Amino acid sequence: MADKRLSVALIGNPNAGKSTIFNLLTGLRQHVSNFPGITVDKKIGVFQIGSSEKVDLIDLPGIYSLFPNSKDEKLVVDIITDPTNSNYPDLVLYVADVNNLERHLLLSTQLLDLKIPMIVVLNMIDIAEANEQSIDADALQKELEVPVLTMSGKTGYQINELKNKIEKFQVQLSEIEFSLADADLYLDTNKTILKEKLSLQAEIKKLISENEEQWFDIQQQIEQFNC
């Protein structure tokens, strides 16, 4: 990840509180433009994890499912289903309203089918607690098999824990990429050795072919000596 910053996308249903979390993470380090060719806002920003690592964050338009019914939804689906898309993220922060969890988790299961790395953020936990609503984030994490945490974009509760989870993912991704780089280096090294070996074998065959009569005379002399 040394030459490419981690790319993170906020995805979720409309009114899940994505923008609040976006503002909480990026502060003033953000700007709004349009996606090429369409009048849909492209909200991007930068935030920091660890001591100095910067992360690119994009707040994608709210969608209800991966079956688009509007140009906003089609835009998001085009991005997250195409790894060659310039906005395709390394990691998705899926923001769900914890107070409407059943409806909001439908999209998360569709995203999981795409095998995109994801952290589920159960937002508006402050409202749930005020209503004495109990949320078992650990059970949901076991069921979805991705990191899950409760937080409040309004109060900032658990924002540091969210950053910690993103940093942990970044470390794991770097280790994978480092291992792949090592594997490529190993393959390249062995390819070079193999080429050198084949070249040496070709030279030996050529040498034997060019001096076949001399080798034959030497072999005859050896046989006569042994007799």
Q: Which of the two residues, 155 and 193, has the higher pLDDT score?
A: 155
Are 128 and 135 in contact, with CB atoms under 8 Å apart? Answer: yes
For residue 204, being part of any structural domain is answered with yes
Are 40 and 63 in contact, with CB atoms under 8 Å apart? Answer: no
Out of 179, 197, 218, pick the residue that ends a domain: 179
Are 24 and 156 in contact, with CB atoms under 8 Å apart? Answer: yes
Angle at CA of residue 20, ends 168 and 125, nearest 5°: 75
For residue 143, being part of any structural domain is answered with yes
Neighbours of 75 (CB within 10 A): 20
Which pLDDT tens digit goes with each residue over 7-27? 999 999 999 999 999 999 998
Which pLDDT tens digit goes with each residue over 107-132? 999 999 999 999 999 999 999 999 99
Question: Which one, of 14, 1, 193, 211, lies nearest residue 95 by Cα?
Answer: 14
Are 17 and 39 in a shared domain?
yes
Are 127 and 177 in contact, with CB atoms under 8 Å apart? Answer: no
Are 132 and 207 in a shared domain?
no
| Residue 145 structural domain | 6-179
Q: Which pLDDT does position 13 carry in this prediction? A: 95
Tell me how far apart the alpha carbons of residues 191 and 81 are, in angstroms, rounded to a whole number.
Answer: 35
Are 133 and 65 in a shared domain?
yes
Tell me how far apart the alpha carbons of residues 25 and 59 are, in angstroms, rounded to a whole number.
Answer: 11
Q: Which pLDDT does position 72 carry in this prediction? A: 87
Are 128 and 208 in a shared domain?
no
Are 197 and 87 in a shared domain?
no
Q: Which pLDDT does position 22 carry in this prediction? A: 94
Confidence bin at 172 (pLDDT 50/70/90): confident
pTM comes to 0.74
Are 66 and 81 in contact, with CB atoms under 8 Å apart? Answer: yes
Are 117 and 200 in a shared domain?
no
Question: Which one, of 147, 144, 178, 192, lies nearest residue 165 by Cα?
Answer: 147
- 78's CB contacts (< 8 A; 6+ apart) are 85
**CA Rg value for the chain:** 29
Q: Which pLDDT does position 185 carry in this prediction? A: 47
Q: Which pLDDT does position 183 carry in this prediction? A: 46
For residue 1, being part of any structural domain is answered with no
Q: Which pLDDT does position 71 carry in this prediction? A: 87
Number of domains in the chain: 2
3-state class percentages of the chain: helix first, strand second, coil last, to nearest 5: 50, 20, 30
Are 100 and 205 in a shared domain?
no
Where do the DSSP E strands lie in 110-154? 118-123, 148-150
Confidence bin at 186 (pLDDT 50/70/90): very low
Instruction: Tell how far CA 172 is from the center of its chain.
Output: 10
Out of 161, 179, 197, pick the residue that ends a domain: 179
Q: Residue 181: is its pLDDT beyond 50? A: no
Are 197 and 138 in a shared domain?
no
Tell me how far apart the alpha carbons of residues 74 and 118 are, in angstroms, rounded to a whole number.
Answer: 20
Are 92 and 48 in a shared domain?
yes
Q: Residue 216: is its pLDDT beyond 90? A: no
For residue 63, being part of any structural domain is answered with yes
Are 104 and 135 in contact, with CB atoms under 8 Å apart? Answer: no
Are 58 and 163 in a shared domain?
yes
Q: Residue 197: is its pLDDT beyond 50? A: yes
Tell me how far apart the alpha carbons of residues 99 and 133 are, in angstroms, rounded to a whole number.
Answer: 8
CATH of the domain at 64: 3.40.50.300
Which pLDDT tens digit goes with each residue over 69-79? 888 899 999 99
Q: Which of the two residues, 85 and 226, has the higher pLDDT score?
A: 85
Are 192 and 160 in a shared domain?
no
Are 145 and 117 in contact, with CB atoms under 8 Å apart? Answer: no
Are 128 and 82 in a shared domain?
yes
Which pLDDT tens digit goes with each residue over 129-154? 999 988 899 999 999 999 999 999 99
Out of 140, 162, 179, pick the residue that ends a domain: 179
Q: Which pLDDT does position 31 carry in this prediction? A: 72
Of 80-84, 136-140, 151-155, 213-217, which gets the smallest average pLDDT? Answer: 213-217
